[in-house]
Each structure stands twice: as C-alpha cells, then as structure tokens.
Chain A
Amino acid sequence: MNELSQSIMQVRGLKAGYGEKIILEDINFQVRRGEVFVILGGSGSGKSTLLKNLIGLYAPLAGEVWIEGSNLVVARDDERLLVLRKFGVMYQSGALFGSMTVLDNVRLPLDEFTILPDEVKELVALAKLKLVGLGAAAQKLPSELSGGMQKRAAIARAMALDPRILFLDEPSAGLDPVTSAGLDLLIKELSHHFGITFVIVTHELASIYAIADRVIMLDGRTRSIIAEGKPVELRETSRDPWVRRFFNREPDSAEFEHQPSS
C-alpha cells in the first residue's frame, strides 16, 4: 500500500508492437514519485516503442498504463486531457515549432490551457527559459539555436504547465560530453528542487551513472525487462552477462543474439 502511494506511474502487463509485430510483452514496472527513472536497452530493444506507449502516442496491444491514478489506455477524451497535462515530453530532436520564437514555443501550452493574464504568461515562460539557462535566447527562432540549446528549450516547453513527470527521449543523443553533462546537471537540479519525476530513455552510460536513481533494461530477444535496479548494483551483481557487459561497456561477440530477429 505504501509503495503504491509512493509510485506516480504503474505499468501492468503492457504488450506493445505494430500490428502483427510484437515488440514488447508483459512489461511491468513502477516509477516512484520524484525519482529519475531510466529505460535502457540496446538498439532495437523497443525503448522508443515503450516510451510512445507510455505517453499515449500509440495504443498498447494490451495492458495498463496508470499515471497518477488514471489509466491512460482506456481514459476517455476529457480524462485523457487531464492526464496529458500531468506530464511533459521532450522529443529526441527537440521538436520545437520552427515558425515560433523559443518564448512562443514555451508560451503555447500556457496560451491554450490557462486563463492567466498575458503578462504573467510571458513571465512564466521567461522564468522557465532562465531555469534552463536560455534567458538570452527567448526571442530567437529554434533554427538559430545549437542542438543542446534546442533540447534545453524543449525541456522548458515540456515544463510550461508544471508537470509532475517529464519524459525525455534520448536527451544526450548528438551532444558533446560537456553539453550532455550540463543537461544531466539540469535534470538533477529539476528533480531535486521541484520534485519532478523523470522517465528517461537513453543508452548513454555516463549519463546513466550520473543521474539515474533506478533503471530498467529492455531486451529485444526476450521482448521483456531483463534487469531492474540501481545502475551501480546492476553492473556489479547482475547475473545476466549481457547486462554486466552493457554497464561495463565491454564488446561481446554473442551480442547479436540479444538483438531482435527481424
């Protein structure tokens, strides 16, 4: 009971895929309030598919996704809208709207979903941008920003409505180590100061050690979770050699056995 009240998101018996092709089966896990939760896996293990099922972009083939007491899978339109506002998503490429300034990108959800006075909306957006270190870039277009800045702007936009959960898809992909470490620090700070729960899809080992409270590891071959726990513990104690190799960054000639057979 206690564990249930601590958890902000529960996934039960999730089966995901595209039509006939099943990518993941019987996925069960919980995300605790305020933690940084990382979804790991090799290329093609179904990380992105899982994420898209969690945020309601794809409908799972079976199973339940509970976010703060609502099952997103079966939620009707109005309930679904309420659940959607409880989380924010940062897409891999940032997905900022190219025709709008960075400030307007962050303002958009505020304009659509709140009745705040315009001046207050502007200040909310500016404060969020300052928080991710982009105060000076408010009037720029996304195309004028570097990759790392675009991702930070996307995080600011995802946070516009003060979500409880932030989903980040590959935050470190395509970034240099310094920028990537800066993003890790930002995630840590947001999690620490605001109690935001993070669900992050990544396979960047350095980031995982730096930020993850808990990880689950997906495996394309068994279409399931093969490891769950703290990253350091998994590295040291996991019985699965593939998991140990992953965390120790060791090459494996049998690695391809773990890739999905397609």
Chain B
Amino acid sequence: MTAASQHELETEVRITLDKTARVILSGRLDAQTVAGCWNDLQHLRLAAISALEVDATGLTFCDSAGLALLHYLNLGRIAPQAAVSVIGLEPGLNKLFLGFTPADYAAFHRSLHNRRLSLPEEVGNTVRQLITDLHAQVEFVGSVTGKLPPALLDRKQMRWPEVRRVFESAGANAVPIVSLVSTLVGLIIAFESAQPLAQFGAQIYVANMIGLVMVRELGPLLAAILLAGRSASAFAAELGTMKVNEELNALETFGLDPMRFLVLQRIAAGILLAPLLTFYSTFMGILGGVAITIGLGFPLSLILHQLSSSVHLSDVALGAAKGIVFGAIVSAVGCMRGLQTQQGPSAVGVSTTRAVVTSILLIIIADAVFSVIFFFLK
C-alpha cells in the first residue's frame, strides 16, 4: 500500500472566470509521475488563459524530471500568452528551480539556430575543403619528389632496416591473399569467357585473352587494390596514431623531419614491392586461367605457345610501369592521410578510410591515363 501511495501524484487544474488557471500539485513529482501529469496539463494548451499559477505546496518529493516540468510551465511553453508563477516550492528546491532561468533557455535556443548552415554555406565549405585537400596533395607530392632522390643516395638518411620491415609487412605478408584473389580471378575470367568463345570454336583464345588481361590490366590493378586495402590503411593508421600520441611532435622537436624519418621509407618500400607483387599477381592469375584451359582439353605446349605469341615485352613493361606508379600512389596516399589525422577518438578511423578511398580512386584514374598514353604510343 505504502509503495503505491509513494508513487502517486495528484494534479488538480482549476480555471476561474477571470481566465486564471490554477494547477495544484500534491504528492510525488518524479520521473514516473511526470508523464501522467504532462497528459493532464495538455488541455491547458487549448484553453484561452491569461494567467497560470502553479501551486507546489503539496509536493512531498520532486526530482529533476519534476523540476524540468515546472521549468517547462514557467517558460510559458504550455500557455504562451499566460503570465506564469510557480509558488510553494520548499526553499532548497526553490533555489534549484531559480538556478535555471528563461534567459538560460533563450540562450540555448539561440545557439541551436546558429549551428545550422544554409545550403550555399555547405556548398562553399565543401568546395573550400576540396581545394585545400588538393593543395595539400600537390604540396605532399612536391615534398616527396624533392626529398626521395637524395635520401635514396644517402645510406644514413634512408633507414633501410625500416624499409625492409615495411617491405615484409606490406609485401611478403600480402602474398597469400594476392595468390588467392589473383588465381580465383584468373579462374573465373577463363571459365566465364570459355562458354561464349566455344560457340565460335575459339576456346583456345582463352589463353591469349587471360595473358593480355592479366599482364596489362588485372595483375597491376589487383595487386594495387589489395595493397591499398592492406597497406595504405596500415600506413594511415600507424602515422595517424603517432600523430594523435604526439610522437610526430616529438620527432619535430628533435629536428627530425617526419617526412624523411617515416614517410620516405614507406614510399620507397611501396615503389619497390608493388612491381614484384604485380608480377606475382599476374603469374597467379595466368596460372588460374591455364588450369581452366587445360581442363577444356588443350595441351600445355599449345597454351604456352598462345601465351607467348600474344603477350609482348611491351605489355610486360607496361604492367611493371603501372606497378611502380600504383605502388607510389598507394604508399604516398596512406602516409599523407596519416599525417593529416586530426585530433579526437574517431580521427584515426577517418584517416584510414580516406587513405583507402583516395588510393583506389587515384589508382583507377592513373590506370585510365596509362591506357590513353599506351594507345597513342602504339
């Protein structure tokens, strides 16, 4: 019984002839009873009242939800035209009640409207960010181009053990996934193309096609995309965490350029390992294709003959060139996004995402540029 009465609140609303509403609250006004009271007071919104008096003398308990309801009434939110007075609060509670004034609420509302940006502002902001980002990319490319060649020549500047470590984690450790993906892609392309080619009795040309496609396009592309997913993200996360932990600041105060100390090694490793990974990916893709062609009943010697007649040295050179450029893009973008990391808990995550997205985008753009150049060179 006591438990039930403890949770009770009585709300009495009287509207007098002179349009004064009197709300008499008695009992407990807390998080449990506020919602009911809220409903009881809703009809005041429609009543044309000129004054609202809230009598809280009978309250035995009032928590912050209850106080918030009193604030709500006091702010004139339920009857905007009415003059509101809240009386009878016990002194301690009254002090608390007076601590939050209509002026505080008005200030909050002003800040609420200030936050919203108009469409032109948003567009302008985005464009400005894009330009700043482009500026940063150009600056980064310039800085790398200026610093990489002298560092390559000076043994002491380059920190080759670090290059070896990156080479291993980004290159050697990527071999299993590159093997799997490239073999499967080779298998799938050969398998899918064998069926339509069979209609023309041209199944043997599966070997020619798989050779060209893997050497010129898919080998470099697969290697680069896997490198972007595994290593651009890793570079961005490594450097980003270092930036958040102020390790980059520590380097700079020693007079050590983070570019020379951390970035050049990763870019050098990227440029060195990407062509190797590209060749490997190409080889595995062709292996997958050859497996299917053998399965179709052609002898290995014939397949090899078809491959060697269709793939020229210039194709292999193109693949290698793509590998070098893609490797440079992936490692440079990963490092750049890492260095651009902002403060805050989500900053490193944002950097890794941006690293992967930007490197894949730039890889595809570079691939298109390569196609155009090669077309004119032929």
A205 CB-CB contact with B under 8 Å: no
Closest 4 CB pairs of A and B: A123-B68, A124-B68, A127-B100, A139-B111
* Contact between chains at B38 and A120 (CB < 8 Å): yes
A127 to B, closest residue via Cβ = B100
B104 CB-CB contact with A under 8 Å: yes
* Contact between chains at A124 and B111 (CB < 8 Å): no
- Shortest distance between the CB of B72 and any CB in chain A (Å): 6
B63 to A, closest residue via Cβ = A162
Q: How large is the interface on A (under 10, 10 to 19, 20 to 34, 35 or more residues)?
A: 20 to 34
* Contact between chains at A116 and B115 (CB < 8 Å): no
B374 CB-CB contact with A under 8 Å: no
- Shortest distance between the CB of A151 and any CB in chain B (Å): 16
* Contact between chains at A127 and B111 (CB < 8 Å): no
* Contact between chains at A130 and B100 (CB < 8 Å): yes
B105 CB-CB contact with A under 8 Å: yes
Contact surface of A with B, Cβ cutoff 8 Å = 98-99, 114-117, 119-121, 123-124, 126-128, 130-131, 135-136, 138-139, 143, 159, 161-162, 193
Contact of B71 among A116, A123, A159 (CB under 8 A): A123
Q: Mark contacts of B17-59 with chain A using CB atoms, 8 A cut-off: 1 yes-contact digit, 0 otherwise.
A: 0000000000000010011001000000000000000000000
A143 to B, closest residue via Cβ = B344
Chain B positions within 8 Å of A114 at CB level: 31, 65
* Contact between chains at B99 and A119 (CB < 8 Å): no
Chain B positions within 8 Å of A123 at CB level: 68-69, 71-72, 75, 100, 105
* Contact between chains at B31 and A127 (CB < 8 Å): no
A135 to B, closest residue via Cβ = B104
Given A98-B344, A139-B112, are A120 and B107 also a contact pair (CB < 8 Å)?
no
Given A116-B38, A123-B100, A127-B68, 16 new contacts (CB under 8 A) = A98-B346, A115-B35, A116-B68, A119-B77, A120-B69, A121-B68, A123-B105, A124-B65, A124-B67, A127-B64, A127-B99, A135-B104, A139-B111, A159-B64, A161-B31, A162-B31
Number of B interface residues at 8 Å Cβ cutoff, please give it: 31
Chain B positions within 8 Å of A128 at CB level: 64
5 contacts between A and B (CB under 8 A): A98-B344, A117-B34, A123-B105, A126-B108, A130-B100
B71 to A, closest residue via Cβ = A123
Q: How far is the CA of A131 from the CA of B67 in the complex (A)?
A: 13
B78 to A, closest residue via Cβ = A119
Contact of B95 among A159, A162, A193 (CB under 8 A): A193
* Contact between chains at A117 and B38 (CB < 8 Å): yes
Q: How far is the CA of A135 from the CA of B63 in the complex (A)?
A: 19
Chain A positions within 8 Å of B75 at CB level: 123
Chain A positions within 8 Å of B115 at CB level: 139
B255 CB-CB contact with A under 8 Å: no
Given A130-B104, A135-B107, A143-B343, are A120 and B72 also a contact pair (CB < 8 Å)?
yes
Q: How far is the CA of A114 from the CA of B92 in the complex (A)?
A: 25
Q: How far is the CA of A122 from the CA of B104 in the complex (A)?
A: 13
Q: How far is the CA of A138 from the CA of B114 in the complex (A)?
A: 13
* Contact between chains at A120 and B65 (CB < 8 Å): yes
B96 CB-CB contact with A under 8 Å: yes
* Contact between chains at A119 and B31 (CB < 8 Å): no
B345 CB-CB contact with A under 8 Å: yes
